[in-house]
Amino acid sequence: MIALVRNGPRVLVAEPADGPFASWLSALGFETPSFDTAFDAGDDGSSIVVLADSAQRVVRYADCRRVFLVRCPIEELLLRMYAALPLGLGRVRMAPRVLLFRGVGDLDAVAGRIEEELGAFPGRFEDLLDREAEGVIIAVTGRSLESRVGLADLHPIALHVPRAAYEPRALEAELRRNGLRYLNAGLGDRDWSDLEIKVYDRYGAYDIQLERLRRIVNALELGLILGESWSKDSPRFLMEIDVYRVRLMSFLSPERVKGLLLGLEYLDDGLRVGDYDLFRDERKVHWSDAQVEGIRERKELGLRFRRELLALLPETERAALAGLEARLRASRRD
């Protein structure tokens, strides 16, 4: 599955910059050198608290005296704050909500379509945070939303949608509803590939193979799994075997998908642990279609794609894959 929309860290602006509240925040979270550092280290379950001498309607970057990152949702932070009062707090207000949108290809086209259809106002992400006091800022990124997204990963042009145009929850729902269309704008509105993967394991460890495949499809955002079923295949005359079929809609080229599937066929030591045949419009995509210059052997190509696949995975997914592959290796009985 492709994650298209998620929240960025929520931002709270408060005053004063020093005193009991700052000390309380220090015990709850940690102080960062800048807003940029806090944003890069945060995620959708984090809160950034910006302290200024005055939490006026708009607090600019230059007004930020201290910045804290707290590892809890903004709702929980607010409950803790009010439970801990009095903390010598002055004014407190929410900064604009940040929504991250996953784009591919031409990110200008993705941002442009969202801007046109939602009536958003474009600007640099930092400038919009400086200028706007409410509403939602949509930041487009080419990075997977399953991973940590920092300021450097954002498209230079972000989009501001005032609360008067869309209530934040309604805007998020709109982005999710039309997400695939916005994503496809970056691909020139071309058709996605309708692919079929046939998985074969001569030892019958299909449960492990399929969990590996689903994890890779989700973690690397290879596309959308539309269906799965058992089938028969005839690799040779008068020979019939069971295979598991997975239907995948992907915005990637069939050759790219085949390369990554080839990386799943091998373990690090070169042991081949399965077959992942790929078809488009009933035509088989051969391993040679995923050829890399200078590599002529199937096994060598598979190990090359395996290294690439592992490098693309988040650490948690690499650990999960290692556990599955230990079980897969144990299932080989000769």
Find out whether 158 and 123 touch, Cβ atoms under 8 Å: yes
Q: What pLDDT, on a 0 to 100 scale, did the predictor assign at position 333?
A: 77
Residues 60, 123: Cα–Cα separation, whole Å: 15
In a domain, 4, yes or no: no
Q: Is the peptide bond before 16 cis (omega within 30 degrees of 0)?
A: yes
Residue 18 domain boundaries: 9-94
In a domain, 2, yes or no: no
- φ, ψ for residue 131 (rounded to 5)? -95, -35
For residues 43 and 144, state if they share a domain. Answer: no
pTM: 0.81
Of 66, 94, 122, which residue sits at a domain end? 94
Question: pLDDT band for position 94 (50/70/90)?
Answer: confident
Q: What pLDDT, on a 0 to 100 scale, did the predictor assign at position 56?
A: 67
For residues 75 and 174, state if they share a domain. Answer: no
In a domain, 1, yes or no: no
Give the pLDDT mean for 4-10.
94
For residues 199 and 293, state if they share a domain. Answer: yes
For residues 198 and 313, state if they share a domain. Answer: yes
Of 68, 94, 120, which residue sits at a domain end? 94
Mean pLDDT over the full length of the chain: 91
Q: Is the peptide bond before 33 cis (omega within 30 degrees of 0)?
A: no
Residues 263, 323: Cα–Cα separation, whole Å: 17
For residues 236 and 183, state if they share a domain. Answer: no
Q: Residue 10: is its pLDDT beyond 80?
A: yes
Residues 221, 314: Cα–Cα separation, whole Å: 12
Find out whether 252 and 262 touch, Cβ atoms under 8 Å: no
Cβ-proximal residues to 186 (8 Å cutoff; 6+ apart), any chain: 103, 104, 105, 106, 107, 109, 110
Reported as a single tens digit per residue, the pLDDT across 125-171 is 989 988 888 999 999 999 888 888 999 999 999 999 999 999 999 99
Of 189, 224, 256, which residue sits at a domain end? 189
> Which residues, listed in sequence order, are joined to residue 236 by a DSSP beta bridge?
239
For residues 155 and 207, state if they share a domain. Answer: no
Residue 153, token pair as written in the block? 């990963």
For residues 182 and 251, state if they share a domain. Answer: no
Reported as a single tens digit per residue, the pLDDT across 220-234 is 989 989 999 998 877
For the chain, the maximum distance between any two Cα atoms, rounded to a whole number of angstroms, is 83
For residues 183 and 108, state if they share a domain. Answer: yes
